Amino acid sequence: MISGISVSPGIVLGKALLIDSQKVKINKKNILKDEIKSEIKNFFYSKEKTIKQIKNIKKEIEKKLGKEKSEIFEGHIMILEDKEFEKDIITLIKKKQYTSEISTKKIIKKQIKEIKKLNNTYLKNRALDIKDIGNRLIKNILKINIKNLNKINKKVIIISKDLTPSETAQINIKNVLGFITELGGETSHTSIIAKSLGIPAIAGAKNVTKKIKNNDYIILDSINNEIYVNPKENIIKNKKKIKKKFLKKINKLKFLKNLKARTIDGKVIKIGANISNTNDIKIAKKNGAELIGLYRTEFLFMNRNNFPTENEQFESYKKIAKKMKNKEVIIRTLDIGGDKDCKYMKLPREDNPFLGYRAIRILMKRKDILRTQLKAILRASYFGQLKIMFPMIISLQEIRFLKKEVKKVKISLKKENINFNKNIKIGVMIETPAAALISNELAKEVDFFSIGSNDLTQYTLAVDRGNDLVSHLYNPMHPAVIKLIKKIVKAAHSNGKWVGLCGELASNKHATQFLIGIGIDELSMNSPSIPIIKKIIRKSNLKNAKKIVKNIL
């Protein structure tokens, strides 16, 4: 039995198809001076060919999964069209008389090395994207045929060292039952695409390409994070039963879609979805989300080479407001920095980016970005129940400053005779121990709280959840985190404000009883988790849940 990181849920059984990374042999011999022109010409031709291929992949993904998911490949195109990238390669061809493939390899290697220095999981996964682009460009320079997973014509489970986003995008879902890779993690673009396509997948399974051979019979169980190779008949029978139960459970939960998450003794918990783009609303509604508990606006700013305009932002927020048809939508202002970067923002490189220049710390310095976003949200608030939520708060001064900025934008919209919701609600994300400890004072300033359990745990325990060496210490049910959650809920309720919780803890079925009992009013999570959490709440009793909390505390 092998395990890794479950990145897309499901159970599949079938034969293995090993896909080797195409090894490219590069001739290290330098070119002659009179070959420089033709070498540069070959580079430009290959670059244009690569851009054309990626544009075709982008179109395919747009048809399958919608515009937002296809924007992953806009980022790939941007790298190829980057003038600095091009200039660096041409310089090596001219000055060092390297071939275009050696020049490309050296520049790609340099970029990856720079990213890996940052010791940041999210950015390390972006390094895989750069590697993907470089490999594709080098293969085109050398006129090597690029494999297409769309041409697989038998039902298989793919085993590979790594699958690039462009390879995953071309998977034929009729024949590819699932995939297992040695590299990658939850936030890699490959995993995001797998989840969107509904393909069961496990990443980060060490040495899996050495442990599995072509045509081995595989059980890929990404619910329990288990991979079996040529298992005994009793294991096969057992896993088939589990698969049947899993599918039955998924179908059974569909009836909960339009039902409230109400405990047996009448306590109603609002259930929301965390989304990154407008396409996610369809999945949220399908799973029975009553509101959007967290809209991560930073994804509007990423994978592009300039800031989204006020109108672009307005259209996106308006679309969400209209699609939710008067249901609440909590829009978190730009939370860039930490593990999320925008190249065009030219953010400083930091030793501790999670403790550095991020989220409102950027917006308070860059009032132009803040005001543009606030203006777009306020304009869109006329079309639905939008709320504003500020992340990474640590003081009363910050929230007072941000409220003043909202007031200023409202005044300017009034002067322009633009409609907006004058009574738009303002909340904060409680995700730092500082905010938790002054939550009673913060509650007097805002309309609601949303506990960001991921960062609250990370900051309270001083554990980088993306660091493999210490990730085993990351525990959102640690006594210190529990005590802070209790304090936050008490502060909100004693000031007549409601409190929600987003982050992984919201979808942790072992924590649901605790969250009900401690008094959380709203839970927001990834959409596929909604039905099971609704089911648990509907079978729960508030009185018993309170007893559980008392015992825990």
What type of residue sits at position 33?
K
> Rounded CA gap, 456 and 433, in Å?
7
In the chain, DSSP finds a helix count (H) and a strand count (E) of 23, 16
> Rounded CA gap, 171 and 57, in Å?
11
Query: Which residues make Cβ contacts (< 8 Å) with residue 225, sequence separation at least 6?
Result: 3, 4, 5, 6, 202
> Rounded CA gap, 67 and 204, in Å?
28
Do the beta carbons of residue 384 and residue 321 sit within 8 Å?
yes
Query: Is position 502 annotated as part of the catalytic site?
Result: yes
> Rounded CA gap, 509 and 494, in Å?
27
Q: 72-81 and 121-141 are packed helices; what angle lies between their axes, rounded to 10 degrees? A: 60
The Cβ-side half-sphere exposure at 123, using a 13 Å CA radius, reads 21
Q: Which of 189, 342, 472, 493 is catalytic?
A: 189
Query: Is position 510 annotated as part of the catalytic site?
Result: no
Q: Where are the alpha helices (DSSP H) in 66-180?
A: 67-70, 72-81, 83-91, 100-116, 121-141, 165-169
| Cα dihedral sign, 196-200-206-210 | negative
Q: Rounded to whole angstroms, what are the CA distances from 226 to 3, 145, 245, 466?
A: 5, 34, 17, 21
> Rounded CA gap, 495 and 445, in Å?
10
> Rounded CA gap, 79 and 134, in Å?
10
| Cα dihedral sign, 272-277-278-280 | negative
C-alpha 543 chain-centroid distance: 36
Q: Rounded to whole angstroms, what are the CA distances from 331 to 385, 479, 528?
A: 10, 30, 20
Q: Which of 472, 478, 493, 502 is catalytic?
A: 502
Question: At CA 410, angle to CA 333 and CA 340, rounded to 5?
Answer: 10
What are the beta bridge partners of residue 331? 295, 388
User: 175-181 long-range contacts, Cβ below 8 Å, gap at least 24?
Assistant: 176/149, 176/152, 177/12, 177/13, 177/14, 177/220, 178/8, 178/10, 178/12, 178/220, 178/222, 180/4, 180/205, 180/208, 180/212, 180/218, 180/220, 180/227, 181/4, 181/205, 181/208
> Rounded CA gap, 248 and 241, in Å?
10
> Rounded CA gap, 247 and 426, in Å?
40
Tell me which residues are annotated as active site. Answer: 189, 502
